[in-house]
Amino acid sequence: MAAPAIPSLDVPALIPANSHYIGGQWVRGSTDETIDVINPATREVLQRVARGREADIDLAVRTAHAAFPQWRDMNPTTRGNLLRKWADLLNQHGHELSLLGSLEVGRPFRGGGGGEGAAGRLPYYASQADKITGDTLPVTRPDVLAFTLREPFGVCGVIVPWNGPLGMMLNGGAAALAAGNTIVVKPAEDAPLACLLAISLAKEAGIPDGVVNIVSGYGPEAGAALPVHPLVRHMSFTGSPESGQKVMEGCAKNLIPLHLELGGKSPQIILKDADLSKVIPLISSNIIANTGQICYAGTRIVVEDSVRPLVVEGVAERLEKVRVGPWYEDVQMGPLINEKQENRVVTYMNLGQEEGAKLVTGGHKLSGDVYDRGFFVEPTLFDEVKSDMRIAQEEIFGPVLSVMGFTDAEEAIEIANGTKYGLAASVWTNDIRRAQMIVRKLQAGQVYVNTYGHSGVIGAPFGGYKNSGFGRTGGFDTIMQYLQVKSVIMDAGEGGRGRGGE
């Protein structure tokens, strides 16, 4: 396979080297140390970003804290309008943002579109900025008025993963901003570029300096400094359960609230009456999307025994035809994010065979020609997987599917619920009553019926049960997480009649 031409993009012209974006301007890192951001398809260095430390986080947080009163007190309609202008700018720069996302994450490039469709989150939450209200509370005396106010926390820290950085940043960041908070973002060191560019466009939209800030760096250095900073009042984290636990420990020291979106091992339950002509293509395309590096990827196929051979055969046939490679045009699946992730996925491929699962297709690292330049593996399908196998229990975060059979719905539910995760699930059947029964028994934060990963419902709350985290993104519930409630009780009479006053 000849290497396709790399689309032209002058990354250094968009994002200066060794620079954070703080207070409405590019700010050089506190040290000369940098991090190489590479293209995982070619190992080419795209830019050397700042290796942020505690001092950089401190500057960003103090800047955000100073900007908070103006942003909090701004007319909420005006605040919403500024967020919409920022969304317009993200759309105008959609080609660059999408291309940066492909360059740093390795996804096949599909053209513009506002950078992963992320810009749509801004106007959605912007429209809620002036819908934030409190409640009038019932009282027993006519001369007493009681009500609640919902107020922003202040500085919110947002730690972003590498698998969908721009969208993940705005999932929580847009809601926090609409609620009147200021934010400090720490993007993943593997993929900070789209986030850096997006935040640098906020100033042009008219958002006051210091409201949005971003510090690049490693998790144990820059990321760890965020939740323990005394001026940070709320945290949002998306990533692995192991890293999430460390962030939670930091939040506990600072006694601040936290939204966590962690890993998944999502089941797709297929009953014998399901439309396999719809199921098989969707399962196959879902697992290769972003090379399987999606938290809610439907990696466990839980299928009724009578149709299991048809599902296995159909999925295997499709996976064997997947075009893997760098870049775009006819490529369907790109590389994994880095060598560490490649080694992890290959280890699980080998482990599945050692555990006794049947390798139907794939199972290897790709090599030769362009594959030697990046981190490429084969889409992989295992059959005859047992629920207690590690490949059925642990998040692999790669293009690996595990097939498990069942004889009745209760067994399917037991298998589906039989991991520590509970992020997403799906049920495939033409019997809606049966689907409703299964849906109610599944331990998952988002359940699909006869579809999976439908992105057209931006207002659906998304988040996990069990070890997949807590809190939600999407819907009005999200903006409520970035507000705290103040109760107000007013005596409109003679006064002095509080507890003990009578």
* DSSP bridge partners of 149: 486
Q: Give me the pLDDT at residue 501, please.
A: 46
Q: What is the pLDDT of residues 403-459, one digit of tens each?
A: 999 999 999 999 999 999 999 999 999 999 999 999 999 999 999 999 998 666 778
Fill in the amino acid letter for 498: G
| pLDDT over 90, % of the chain | 88
- Write down the pTM of the prediction: 0.94
Distance in angstroms (rounded) separating the CA atoms of residues 300 and 386: 11
String of DSSP letters for 280-340: HHHHHHHHHGGGG--TT---EEEEEGGGHHHHHHHHHHHHHT--B-SSSTT--B---SSHH
246 class by beta-carbon count within 10 Å (0-12 exposed, 13-18 middle, 19+ buried) = middle
CATH superfamily of 11-262+468-485: Aldehyde Dehydrogenase; Chain A, domain 1 (3.40.605.10)
| pLDDT over 70, % of the chain | 94
Residue range 334-342: average pLDDT? 97
Catalytic-residue membership of 295 = yes
> What is the dihedral sign for C-alpha 74, 75, 76, 79?
negative
Q: What residues contact residue 413 under an 8 Å CB cut-off, 6+ apart?
A: 269, 438, 441, 442
Catalytic site residue from 295, 304, 342, 378:
295
Q: What residues contact residue 151 under an 8 Å CB cut-off, 6+ apart?
A: 72, 180, 483, 484, 486
CATH superfamily of 267-449: Aldehyde Dehydrogenase; Chain A, domain 2 (3.40.309.10)
**Does position 384 have pLDDT exceeding 60, yes or no?**
yes
Domain limits, the chain = 11-262+468-485, 267-449
Q: Is 253 helix (H, G, I), strand (E, B) or coil?
A: helix
**Does position 502 have pLDDT exceeding 70, yes or no?**
no
**Does position 228 have pLDDT exceeding 90, yes or no?**
yes
**Does position 112 have pLDDT exceeding 50, yes or no?**
no
101 class by beta-carbon count within 10 Å (0-12 exposed, 13-18 middle, 19+ buried) = buried
Q: What is the pLDDT of residues 154-197, one digit of tens each?
A: 999 999 999 999 999 998 899 999 999 999 999 999 999 999 99
Q: What is the pLDDT of residues 247-269, one digit of tens each?
A: 999 999 999 999 999 999 999 99
**Does position 6 have pLDDT exceeding 80, yes or no?**
no
Q: Helices 308-320 and 276-288 meet at what angle, rounded to 10?
A: 40
Q: What residues contact residue 495 under an 8 Å CB cut-off, 6+ apart?
A: none
Residue 485 vs residues 24, 233, 488: alpha-carbon distances, Å: 30, 14, 10
String of DSSP letters for 172-195: HHHHHHHTT-EEEEE--TTS-HHH
Q: What residues contact residue 210 under an 8 Å CB cut-off, 6+ apart?
A: 22, 23, 24, 63, 64, 66, 67, 182
Structure tokens at 337: 């994010």
Distance in angstroms (rounded) separating the CA atoms of residues 320 and 314: 10
* Cβ neighbours around 133 below 10 Å, total: 10
Catalytic site residue from 104, 116, 189, 261:
261
Fold match between 11-262+468-485 and 267-449? no
Distance in angstroms (rounded) separating the CA atoms of residues 400 and 379: 6
Distance in angstroms (rounded) separating the CA atoms of residues 253 and 298: 35
String of DSSP letters for 455-477: TT-TTS-B--EETTEES-BSSHH
Strand ranges, E, within 330-379: 358-361
| Cβ-contact 125, 479 below 8 angstroms | yes
Q: Give 494 or 354, the one with higher predicted confidence.
A: 354
| Cβ-contact 304, 447 below 8 angstroms | no
Element (H, E) at 34: strand 34-38
Q: What residues contact residue 317 under an 8 Å CB cut-off, 6+ apart?
A: none
